[in-house]
Amino acid sequence: MSVTVREMLLEEVGLVIDYFHESSAEHLELLGVDPTRLPGRVQWRQLYETDFGQPIERRRSMLLLWEIDGRPIGFSSVDKIVYGKEAYMHLHIVDSGQRQSGYGVACVRESVDIYFDRLRLERLYCEPNAFNVAPNRTLQKAGFQYVKTHRTVPGPLNFHQPVTRWVYKRFAG
Ligand SMILES: CC(C)(COP(=O)(O)OP(=O)(O)OC[C@H]1O[C@@H](n2cnc3c(N)ncnc32)[C@H](O)[C@@H]1OP(=O)(O)O)[C@@H](O)C(=O)NCCC(=O)NCCS
């Protein structure tokens, strides 16, 4: 079983768009996502087209594809990027039948390395919904440090919710 994590190509972003648009209301609730805030499929693709055309220093987001034996199983993204400083990560295995098999931790570890290298980060944050056990456990196991639990609107797709902030720093301090 071989895990590969690589930058997603523009022609592959449909995986992300379909994932959110085809998720059940219950799954979106667990993610803290407000379905009324999802961009339409065409508009969302155009947003990625614009962003993929930017130099890395000015990207608003970055997407990584997670593959097992060459088959896509999930993805990670970052947003709120401050190039050379910090970004906020997201993590998703698309098919629920492939969750809880250790792939999440393996893919997060590889994703962290890519984000730090490509975006020259000092720190990488992740703020999952505080009640969503899977990412909270996964982040801790992948080496993220707990920062705090607080209420916020973590991103443009989200509703106001309690989140757990985790951080990964490449160098101590
Ligand atoms: C979050 C996610 C990527 C983690 O990937 P995964 O492959 O399921 O996680 P792993 O199998 O590597 O498990 C990592 C740890 O989390 C634990 N874990 C994972 N899912 C869990 C769950 N639903 N309940 C309890 N523990 C869980 C595992 O037991 C493991 O800990 P352990 O080894 O100490 O027992 C995946 O579960 C997922 O896509 N979930 C739906 C999307 C989501 O919630 N994304 C977060 C948005 S920020």
CA distances from 28 to 35, 68, 146, 152, 157 (A): 7, 25, 24, 17, 10
The domain of 54 spans 3-124
Q: List pLDDT tens digits, range 10-62.
A: 999 999 999 999 999 999 999 999 999 999 999 999 999 999 999 999 999 99
Residue 143 resides in a domain = no
Binding site membership of 130 for ligand 1 (Cβ less than 6 Å): no
Does 65 map to a domain? yes
Q: For ligand 1, is residue 131 a contact (CB within 6 Å)?
A: no
Q: 66 and 5 in contact (C-beta within 8 Å)?
A: yes
Name which residue sits closest to atom 4 of ligand 1, judged by CA: 104
Is the pLDDT assigned to residue 139 strictly greater than 50? yes
Q: Which of 66, 63, 58 is nearest to 44 (CA)?
A: 63
**Domain count of the chain?**
1
Q: For ligand 1, is residue 32 a contact (CB within 6 Å)?
A: no
Task: Find out whether the beta carbon of 50 lies less than 6 Å from any atom of ligand 1.
Answer: no
Closest CA to 83 of 116, 49, 125: 116
Residue 171 has a pLDDT of: 72
pLDDT category at 173 given cuts 50, 70, 90 is very low
* CATH number assigned to the domain comprising residue 62: 3.40.630.30
Angle between helices 41-52 and 14-22 (to 10 degrees): 150
Question: Do the domain assignments include residue 99?
Answer: yes
In a domain, 74, yes or no: yes
Q: Which residue has the higher pLDDT, 170 or 24?
A: 24
User: What local confidence, expressed as pLDDT, does residue 169 receive?
Assistant: 97
> Which amino acid appears at position 75 of this protein?
F
Buried b (16+ CB within 10 A) or exposed e, 127-164: bbbbebeebbebbeebebeeeeeeeeebeebbeebebb
| Minimum-distance ligand 1 atom for the alpha carbon of 100 | 11
- Find out whether 106 and 118 touch, Cβ atoms under 8 Å: no
Dist. CA 133 → ligand 1 center (Å): 7
Residue located nearest, by CA, to atom 42 of ligand 1: 92
Residue 170, in any domain of the structure:
no
**Ligand 1 midpoint to CA 104 (Å):** 6
pLDDT tens profile 90-131:
999 999 999 999 999 999 999 999 999 999 999 999 999 999
Strand 86-93 versus strand 123-126 pairing type: parallel
12 lies in some domain:
yes
Query: Would residue 166 count as lying in a domain?
Result: no
Whether residue 165 is contained in a domain is answered as no
